[in-house]
A = this chain, B = another copy of it.
Amino acid sequence: MISVDEARVRVLDTLRPTPAEIVALADAWNRVTAEAVTARLTQPPADISAMDGYALRAADGALNAVLTVIGSAPAGHPFGFAVGPGQAVRLFTGSVIPAGADAILLQEDATRDGDTVRINEAVDKGRHVRRKGQDFAAGDIVLPAGRRMTARDVGLAAAANHPWLTVHRRPRVAILATGDEIAMPGEPIPPGGIVSSNSHALAALVRAGGGDPAILPVAKDDRSAIGAVADSVQGMDLLVTTGGASVGDHDLVIEALKARGMTLDFWQIAMRPGKPLLFGQLGTTPVLGLPGNPVSAMVCAILFLLPALARLSGLPAAPPPVSAAILGAPLKQNDRRADHLRASVATDSSGRAVATPFPSQDSAMLRRLALADALIVRPPNAPALAPGAEVGIIRLDSLGL
């Protein structure tokens, strides 16, 4: 058996980011930059006012001085002339500060009377001025390559004057569920059969990870039917299969895909739920084989498929983020398989996360899985723990998983 970490490294090491494509900025949210984003202009483009008020020479800005207002410069309408001694120009937030002026009199510190303005609070030179280039200068890298674009990043790219961005193509992931006993939701269920939940759950996880899923038709336990699938995944960045990975009598998927030229690694992974994991290569398409059990499939997808999606998307190879939590119930010593306990998470009075494992960890309980806020990660051979001990958790609640 190999460890979860070793299996993940082996998978991620073989994956390459998808090629770049150009998208409109409006479509760039949640996409991963394939090139650094360089500012195409300087922001602010000139010294501008941070407040509504008046531009003047600091030398004229003494308390009770009275200046002549020679004009107004709304944002977007720069004043065309210089401000001379004893003069002021009406400004607004974002207005370019006219030549000659080097101080701002706040509107609330001014008394306007026709063409004059009285200073009720002495001005400070440079105060309330936003300097040219204070946010960024033309040529600055404002966003690195390999970054998943947040809403704020999109705003920054807009401010840097990028109508288009170069991003990695969304990974295309084909999902294949197999088995005589399964039917898609709403379709006739064979005797003793069940409705396939894996395909839809994994497709949704692919979306949560920023990929484009394609749900393939359920393949019956028939070699030629499964083999035909092999021809349909050309151009896919990843084929994910579920089931057919046991050491039992029914590994037709492997046989069928091998007959089509798939090279295959088959690993026993020291983990629970889940254990066998397939990883192979079918032509140019990597193949990740997850367990058929729905809970095991989702846990393995969180541990392996989600990092694979990130890597294919152009992000660094990395495990899912593990954060610290306080244990809410005792845990027995763990055996040699890493465990991933479905747990609820509450917040205690000091704001710490408290993770409490569900009493039943039966891997057939989809409803329980859906209710979980997190997986408690138990390393192999972890000692028994009392409530209050610290554990590592993978949070599920905010990731759309």
**A interface residue numbers (CB < 8 A to B):** 25-26, 28-30, 41, 43-46, 50, 52, 73-78, 92-96, 107, 130, 134-136, 142-143, 149-164, 179-182, 184-187, 189-205, 207-208, 213, 215, 221, 246, 248-250, 292-294, 298, 323-325, 347, 350-352, 362, 364-370, 372, 390, 396, 398-401
Contact = CB atoms under 8 A, between A and B. Distances in A.
Contact of A200 (B93, B134, B158, B400): B158
B364 A134 contact: yes
Given A162-B185, A195-B158, A76 B215 contact: no
A151 B400 contact: yes
Contacts of A390: 350-351
A103 to B, nearest CB: 18
A158 to B, nearest CB: 4
16 contacts: A30-B208, A44-B194, A50-B362, A74-B221, A74-B249, A75-B179, A92-B249, A94-B292, A95-B192, A151-B205, A155-B294, A158-B195, A159-B194, A162-B186, A163-B184, A323-B351
Given A154-B204, A161-B189, 14 more contacts: A25-B200, A29-B203, A136-B367, A143-B370, A152-B366, A152-B370, A155-B197, A155-B294, A156-B369, A158-B197, A158-B201, A159-B197, A163-B187, A398-B399
- List the number of copies, as a whole number: 2
A8 to B, nearest CB: 19
A324 B298 contact: no
A152 B93 contact: no
A181 B29 contact: no
Given A52-B246, A75-B181, A203 B26 contact: yes
A377 to B, nearest CB: 13
A186 B325 CA distance: 47
A105 B200 CA distance: 33
Across the A-B interface, give the 8 residue pairs with the lowest CB-CB distance, nearest first.
A324-B351, A76-B181, A155-B201, A163-B186, A78-B192, A151-B204, A29-B204, A159-B197
A145 B198 CA distance: 23
A76 B179 contact: yes
Contacts of A198: 155
Contact of A195 (B50, B150, B161, B399): B161
A158 B208 contact: no
A298 to B, nearest CB: 6
Given A152-B396, A156-B370, A185 B143 contact: no
A401 B152 contact: yes
